Amino acid sequence: MSRNILIIGAGIAGLALARAFERRGIAFDIIDRAPAPLTGGAGMFLPGNAMVALRGLGFGEQVADIAWHNRRQTILDAGGGVLHDMDVERFWENAGPCLSLTRAALTGILRSGVETQVRYGVWTNGITVEGNKARVAFSDGEEAVHDLVIGADGFNSATRGQLFGDQAPEIYPRTCWRMLTPNSIGLRHWTVMLGHRRALLGVPVEDGLLYLYGDADNVLLPAHLTNHRRDLQDLFGAFAGPLAPVVEAIGPDDRIDRGILGEVAARDWSNDAALLIGDAAHACSPSMAQGASMAFEDALVLTDCLADAQDLRAALAAFSRQRLERVRWIQKQCRARDSTRALPRPLRIAILRLLGDRLYRRSYTPLLAPFRGGGADRVDQRA
């Protein structure tokens, strides 16, 4: 059934949806507020379940070919002592490898797999749902009526506000920094170092290149943050190897992105002619690295729900029914993980040493279960 569909946002969720729609012959328009494709954002880690969805989008081999394959995930304390070391290759063997790559490389692959032209530099000034249609006022003065508007415009989604009223996300009292830097220490896999209310993560993203991520609770920070490099060195300078030398080696002209973290409480974000996907619908802390996977899965499940549906409202309700449990589980697990940041050091160390394996399995095992969509509903499906 042919519908007049608008996707708002050409980030990870919007591009994945565009790709899934094209593969099923569903036509759409797509806009993005940014004047040109975004290139920042440093690196991405994609646990094994991402590969199931990437295969469903037809990107499995392409991403696996250029990404770094992480066989283990290691948690160290600030002094470099091992708290937990997990054979993630084994855990995810029926799904796929745990990959890491630059965000630019991932979005570049997504973009190259979409034929429909993204209209960059365009956003919506207002969306009104009238009966079962959405009337959209665009920033360039145009107006159009759509059968379906899909908000994929991220954490600070304006679409969420225009459709569902004032729905500001919860902002965590935490700050993060991200950068790409030479892998001068020859790190081979995802490695995090934990201090009190702060964490420093290194992930190889390609030969010779490391994705460095640091975060700290705001209570640790001075009132005015100015120099990202100095802030990182103040926070992590007293850490040991392997990651401290990387922080020390940051140069004055290196690009570092500073950001906030927060959460959009997952719920049924749909009405008679619109819905939200990706971070606009269920952003959360990156502590399980599930944001991209959930965006891919949203795209596949929504495409499945819409492909042959006669009744649009029923299709949108079916999408929410299929997604809510999974994204709520991730949000709950992220909150539980993040709550250990402020525990007294001996308790945190004991928990990770004694229960690290069990906690990892508990958080991620439900994600080995099939999600429905794009034919990617078997975890052992190959590209």
Ligand X SMILES: Cc1cc2nc3c(=O)[nH]c(=O)nc-3n(C[C@H](O)[C@H](O)[C@H](O)COP(=O)(O)OP(=O)(O)OC[C@H]3O[C@@H](n4cnc5c(N)ncnc54)[C@H](O)[C@@H]3O)c2cc1C
Closest contact distance (angstroms) between CB of 79 and ligand X is 25
Counting contacts by CB under 6 A, is residue 23 touching ligand X? Answer: no
Give the C-alpha separation, 163 to 270, whole Å: 9
Q: Which region, judged by CB under 6 A, interacts with ligand X, from 38-46, 87-95, 226-234, 316-324?
A: 38-46
Radius of gyration of the chain (CA): 21
Total number of residues that touch ligand X (CB under 6 A): 35
**Binder of ligand X out of 121, 173, 245, 259 (CB under 6 A):** 259
Counting contacts by CB under 6 A, is residue 297 touching ligand X? Answer: no
Counting contacts by CB under 6 A, is residue 278 touching ligand X? Answer: yes
Tokens matching residue 193: 């170092």
Counting contacts by CB under 6 A, is residue 178 touching ligand X? Answer: yes
CB 177 within 8 A of CB 233: no
Would you list the DSSP string of 132-180?
A: TEEEEEETTS-EEEESEEEE---TT-HHHHHHHSS-PPEEEEEEEEEEE
Counting contacts by CB under 6 A, is residue 12 touching ligand X? Answer: yes
Neighbour tally for 115: CB within 10 Å: 8
Say how many residues make up the chain: 383
**In which order are the strands placed within the sheet that holds 29-32?**
119-120, 29-32, 5-8, 148-151, 274-276
Counting contacts by CB under 6 A, is residue 293 touching ligand X? Answer: yes
| Cβ proximity to ligand X, 204 vs 347, nearer residue | 204
Counting contacts by CB under 6 A, is residue 286 touching ligand X? Answer: yes
> Which residues, at least 6 apart from 65, have a Cβ–Cβ distance to it below 8 Å?
none
Counting contacts by CB under 6 A, is residue 113 touching ligand X? Answer: no
Counting contacts by CB under 6 A, is residue 181 touching ligand X? Answer: no
Counting contacts by CB under 6 A, is residue 232 touching ligand X? Answer: no
Identify the CA nearest to 272 among candidates 314, 323, 320.
Answer: 314
Give the C-alpha separation, 336 to 294, whole Å: 19
CA dist 217 → 78, 80, 199, 285 (Å) = 16, 21, 9, 13
Counting contacts by CB under 6 A, is residue 193 touching ligand X? Answer: no
**Binder of ligand X out of 88, 152, 266, 352 (CB under 6 A):** 152
Counting contacts by CB under 6 A, is residue 158 touching ligand X? Answer: yes
| Positive/negative CA dihedral, 357, 362, 363, 365 | positive
Closest contact distance (angstroms) between CB of 177 and ligand X is 9
Q: Which region, judged by CB under 6 A, interacts with ligand X, from 31-39, 60-68, 108-116, 217-225?
A: 31-39
Counting contacts by CB under 6 A, is residue 291 touching ligand X? Answer: yes
| Cβ proximity to ligand X, 197 vs 353, nearer residue | 197
Chain positions 52 to 111 lying near ligand X, rule: CB under 6 A, are: none
Counting contacts by CB under 6 A, is residue 10 touching ligand X? Answer: yes
Give the C-alpha separation, 94 to 375, whole Å: 16
- Site for ligand X, rule CB under 6 A: 8-14, 31-34, 38, 44-46, 123, 152-155, 158, 176, 178, 259, 261, 278-280, 286, 289-293, 295
